[in-house]
Structure 1
C-alpha cells in the first residue's frame, strides 16, 4: 500500500518551504527599494535615474480622485468599489435534512483614476487591483429577505429549496485612506508621474508602512519554514514507519512460509516411513502428525478449524472463513461454515 499520509506531508513541506522562501526573498527586495519621503522629490529622483529602468520605489500618501464614486448603499466616496450579491437558501440533502447554502448572483467592480497625495505632490496609481496587500473596506452589508407567497413556497419546496434572501456586500477603497505603494515609478512626457506594476519586482498596495510590510514578510517566512520542518519530520516518520511495517510483514510471511514448507517436508517423510514400518511405527507417526499444527491456507497463522458445507473441505480458520463465499480449494459456493474442535 502506498504511504499516502507520508507523501502528502512531504509535498506539503515542500510547498511551505517554497512559500517561506518567496516571502523571505520579497522581504529582502523591499529592504533595497528606494524610499521616497515626500512625493515632490520623486520627479528629481526619476530625472537622476533616467538610465536605471525599471525604477522601483516606495511612496506613501492619501487616496484621492478627481471623479470619485459615490457608493450606493454606504454613502462613502471611493476610487474602487466592489459589489457582490449572494442568494442564500436552504436545500434538502440526501439525509432528509435542510442545510444552508449560498450562490453568487452578481459580482461587479468599478474603478476610477486615482492618485496618492501627501500635500507636496501627487502620484497616480495604475493597476492597484492586481497588487499584493490591497484590502477593501466593507462599506455596507445588507440582507434582503425573499418575499414569501404560497405559490413560490410550494415551487421551492418541490425543488428541494427554501429561499432565505439576498445578501449584498459593498467593499470600497475610500478617498482619504493612507496607503503605501511599492512599484515602478514612470514619468511621462507631460511630467505626470505614475506608479505601476514593474516587469520584474514587487508590487504592493497596502495600508501598512514599508517597515511593517518587511516585518510581516519576515515573520511569515519564518512561520512557513518552521511549518515545513514540522511536516518534513512527520512525513519522514510516517514513511519510516510504513517501511518498517512492510519489512516486518515480509519477514513474517517468509518465516511462515519456511515453517509451512518444513512441516510439509517432515510430514511427507513421516508418511513415507509409515508405509515401510509396522503398525506401531504408523501409529507413532500419526500421533506426531496430530501434534504438528495444521495452518490456515489464508493467514498462515491460526490452525484451520472450520468445515465448509456442502463440499466438506477443511483448510481455513474461522476468522478467515467469515470473509469467504467460495471454497479456496474447489471454488464451490459455501452454504455454511461449521467450527470443529480438536481433543
Structure 2
C-alpha cells in the first residue's frame, strides 16, 4: 500500500471512529432504514406479481372485458375490484409472448415496408438497438502516484465513462403458439426506466493512441484512457420475453405499459422465476435490515454512553478548575504581586515569557511540561474556558512554579 493509500485509509478510519463510533452507528442506521424500505417495496411487488394473472396474448381481450365488467359492477355497488394500476379497464397482468414488429400485424399497406431496425455491425433485425462506448482506464499509479491517490479514487465517480444511444421502433408481442398474427399486444415503452432484455451482438476493443499529455498523466499517476469498448445490444425479432405491466385497450387493441412500482417490465424470466427472485431478495433485505439495525443501535448506544460520560467528566474537571481559580483569586494573587518585582529587570531574550515578553519564565504547564510563561501569564492561561499550552496547543490542567536551586 502506498503512502497516499495509507493516508487516505487513516483519514477514513479517523472519520469513521469520530465521536466514539457515532458516525459508524449513523451510517449503519441509514443502511438499515434503506434495507427496510427496499424490503417493503420488494414485498409489495412480490404480492402484486403473485396476484396478477399469467395469461397468453390471445387471452388479453377476455381479461380486459372482465375488467370492464368489474368496473360496471363496482359502479353499481357490487362485484370484486379487478382494477390494478389505474381505472378504465386497466389491469396488472403477466404476459409471455414473442417480439414482432408492429407493421407485421397492422394488416395495411404499411406492412410492405417492415418497420424494423437493422444492426449495422451484425445485420440482425431488431426493434431496439442500443449502442454504447465505454472507456477503459489504466491502473498504474505512476512514479508520483502517492500524491493523487485520493483524488483518483474520487475522480472515478465523476469522470466521463462514454456514451450510450438507444433507438426503438413500435413493436408488439404475439402468441408463439399461433401461426396467425391476429392476436397481439402493443408494448408501450414511454416513461419506462426498467432494463431491457437485450442481446449482445457486437463487441470490440479499440485502442487509443497515446499523446504527450498522456505521458504526463501516467508520470503523475493520473488515470488515462487506454481503450474504447464499442458494444451493440439488440432486442431481436422472434425473442420470447415476459411482460409485467398494466394492460388496457388502446385504439381497439390491447396495450401494455410499465408500472413504476414493480422491478420488472420486459425480461427473460418467467413468472415463477420472478417470484423466487423477489422472495429471496425480500428475505435478504429483511434480515440484513434487522441485523444491521441491531448493530447500529448497539453502536449508537455505546457512543451515547461514552460521550455522556465524557461530558460529565469534562464538567467535573471544569468545576474543579473553577474552584482552583477561585482559591487562586483569594490566596495566590498577593504572592504573584510579591514575586513580580523579582522577575522583572534585565532578563535575556531566551528566558522571557512568550506572552508578555516582560517577566522571566517561571511556570511549567501540566501535563505537557513546557516552561514558556511567567506565573502571572500562566495564571491567565489557566483561567481560559479551554486552557491550552501556547506552544503545543495541548489542553492543560494547571501550572507549576519553577524555582532555581
Same-fold status (TM-score > 0.5): yes
Question: In structure 2, which of residues 274, 278, 286 is the aligned counterpart of residue 225 of structure 1?
Answer: 286
Question: In structure 2, which of residues 34, 37, 49 is the aligned counterpart of residue 18 of structure 1?
Answer: 37
Question: Which residue is equivalent to 2:129?
Answer: 81
**2:165 matched to 1:108?**
yes
Question: In structure 1, which of residues 33, 54, 75 is the aligned counterpart of residue 90 of structure 2?
Answer: 54
- Contact kept? 2:205, 2:227, Cα under 8 Å: yes
The whole-number CA distance in structure 1 between the counterparts of 2:213 and 2:391 is 53
**2:300 matched to 1:242?**
no
* CA deviations over 1:271-320 (Å, ceiling 9, x no partner): 9xxxxxxxxxxxxxxxxxxxxxxxxxxxxxxxxxxxx9532243423547
The whole-number CA distance in structure 1 between the counterparts of 2:225 and 2:92 is 51
1:60 is displaced (CA, Å) by 0.3
**2:171 matched to 1:122?**
no
Q: Provide closer, same or farther for how the CA distance between residues 240 and 147 of structure 1 changes in structure 2, counting only shifts above 3 A.
A: closer
Q: Which runs of 5 or more structure 2 residues have no equivalent in the other structure?
A: 1-17, 72-88, 105-114, 333-349, 354-360, 382-388, 393-399
The whole-number CA distance in structure 2 between the counterparts of 1:267 and 1:162 is 66
SS of the residue corresponding to residue 304 of structure 2 reads helix
The whole-number CA distance in structure 1 between the counterparts of 2:191 and 2:227 is 30
The whole-number CA distance in structure 1 between the counterparts of 2:90 and 2:369 is 73
Question: Which residue is equivalent to 1:274?
Answer: none
* CA deviations over 1:85-130 (Å, ceiling 9, x no partner): 2344559989734989773443211112222222333222111782
Q: Provide closer, same or farther for how the CA distance between residues 164 and 187 of structure 1 changes in structure 2, counting only shifts above 3 A.
A: same
SS of the residue corresponding to residue 297 of structure 2 reads helix
**2:49 matched to 1:30?**
yes
TM-score by length of 1: 0.69
The whole-number CA distance in structure 2 between the counterparts of 1:199 and 1:86 is 28
Q: Provide closer, same or farther for how the CA distance between residues 183 and 257 of structure 1 changes in structure 2, counting only shifts above 3 A.
A: closer
TM-score by length of 2: 0.60
Query: Number of aligned pairs?
Result: 295
Measured on the aligned residues, the alpha-carbon RMSD in Å equals 4.2
- Greater shift, 246-255 or 217-226, is seen at 246-255
Q: Provide closer, same or farther for how the CA distance between residues 270 and 125 of structure 1 changes in structure 2, counting only shifts above 3 A.
A: closer
Q: Which runs of 5 or more structure 1 residues have no equivalent in the other structure?
A: 272-307
SS of the residue corresponding to residue 57 of structure 1 reads strand
Question: In structure 2, which of residues 234, 255, 258 is the aligned counterpart of residue 197 of structure 1?
Answer: 258
The whole-number CA distance in structure 1 between the counterparts of 2:216 and 2:331 is 78
Q: Provide closer, same or farther for how the CA distance between residues 183 and 89 of structure 1 changes in structure 2, counting only shifts above 3 A.
A: closer
Question: In structure 2, which of residues 22, 25, 29 is the aligned counterpart of residue 6 of structure 1?
Answer: 25
Question: Which residue is equivalent to 2:198?
Answer: 136
- Contact kept? 1:128, 1:134, Cα under 8 Å: no
Question: Which residue is equivalent to 2:357?
Answer: none
